[in-house]
């Protein structure tokens, strides 16, 4: 068990699965724990599956107990699990309150609880790393930049056309602050913390992978390779920040 142990949440599909593939492409060897909400999905992959649901505290505790018993530590925790639920409000499958609560419960609250639960295993590592996968839409500094499509104001009148991702953006901005808090809390424990903004990726986030691709989203493998670089220390000088491929993402 000399290889680094990496737990990737939400890793049975999308960016999470590409992160797993990127780690296996590395010249370095890893023990990869595939965190998945569904046991069936986790069991489909040739990695070590860990069933965990960010909205279920008992599930998080069971995942911790399993990893602690089987592996004894975690060297890298990649908080990738998340979701964009705004469109479910527009489609009528969620009320506004349900959608906002779920956005924060999954992207921020559940992520914080999982991190809090797993910190004791991180502190058993000789080189612990804590990553949170955030979004380019979360930056307050660039929120007025019209080059980013989510910043463009809709036409006059009410109701507004569908397409806003307000709850998703807010929850990811909250995640950025949460990372700063974990940076402070673990400053004297040797844990390197980051938010990683991998870019606009052609995944099923929001429920429409093809539409994301048509809007200019890039191959998620590109974002996953960048995340691997952060895991392998290429951005250590930027620890405690939101990092993206071209530098540091403004707050």
CB atoms within 10 A of CB 83: 18
CB atoms within 10 A of CB 163: 13
Any idea where the domains of the chain sit in the sequence? 5-248
Residue among 135, 138, 171, 197 flagged as catalytic: 135
30 is catalytic: no
Residue among 168, 171, 192, 197 flagged as catalytic: 168
Distance between first and last Cα of the chain: 38
Q: What is the pLDDT of residue 66?
A: 97
Q: Is the pTM of this model over 0.85?
A: yes
* pLDDT at position 28 over 70: yes
Vertex 190: Cα angle to 189 and 196 (nearest 5): 115
Q: What is the pLDDT of residue 149?
A: 81
Q: Tens digit of pLDDT for each residue in 85-110?
A: 999 999 999 999 999 999 999 999 99
Closest C-alpha to 8, from 61, 60, 49: 49
Whole-number Å distance between alpha carbons of 92 and 77: 35
**Quick one: DSSP state of residue 37?**
S
Mean pLDDT of 231-251: 97
172 is catalytic: yes
CATH of 5-248, one of 3.40.50.300, 3.40.50.720, 3.40.47.10, 1.10.1050.10: 3.40.50.720
62 is catalytic: no
Mean pLDDT of 184-210: 80
Residue among 36, 172, 192, 197 flagged as catalytic: 172
Q: What is the pLDDT of residue 206?
A: 54
* pLDDT at position 25 over 70: yes
């Amino acid at each position: 068990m000399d290889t680094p142990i990496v737990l990737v949440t939400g890793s049975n599909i999308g960016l999470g699965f590409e992160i797993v593939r990127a780690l296996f492409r590395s010249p370095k060897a890893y023990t990869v724990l595939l965190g998945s909400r569904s046991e069936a999905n986790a069991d489909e992959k040739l990695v070590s599956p860990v069933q965990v649901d960010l909205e279920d505290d008992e599930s998080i505790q069971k995942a911790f107990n399993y990893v602690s018993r089987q592996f004894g530590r975690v060297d890298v925790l990649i908080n990738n699990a998340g979701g964009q639920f705004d469109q479910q409000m527009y489609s009528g499958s969620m009320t506004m309150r349900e959608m906002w609560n779920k956005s924060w419960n999954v992207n921020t609250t559940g992520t914080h609880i999982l991190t809090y639960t797993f910190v004791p295993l991180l502190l058993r590592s000789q080189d612990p790393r804590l990553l949170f996968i955030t979004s380019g839409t979360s930056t307050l500094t660039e929120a007025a930049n019209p080059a980013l499509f989510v910043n463009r104001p809709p036409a006059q009148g009410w109701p507004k056309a569908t397409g806003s991702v307000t709850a998703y953006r807010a929850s990811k901005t909250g995640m950025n602050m949460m990372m700063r808090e974990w940076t402070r809390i673990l400053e004297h424990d040797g844990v390197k913390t980051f938010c990683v903004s991998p870019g606009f990726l052609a995944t099923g986030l929001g429920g429409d992978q093809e539409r994301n691709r048509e809007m200019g989203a890039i191959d998620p493998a590109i974002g996953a390779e960048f995340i691997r670089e952060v895991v392998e220390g290429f951005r250590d000088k930027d620890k405690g920040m939101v990092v993206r491929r071209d530098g540091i993402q403004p707050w």
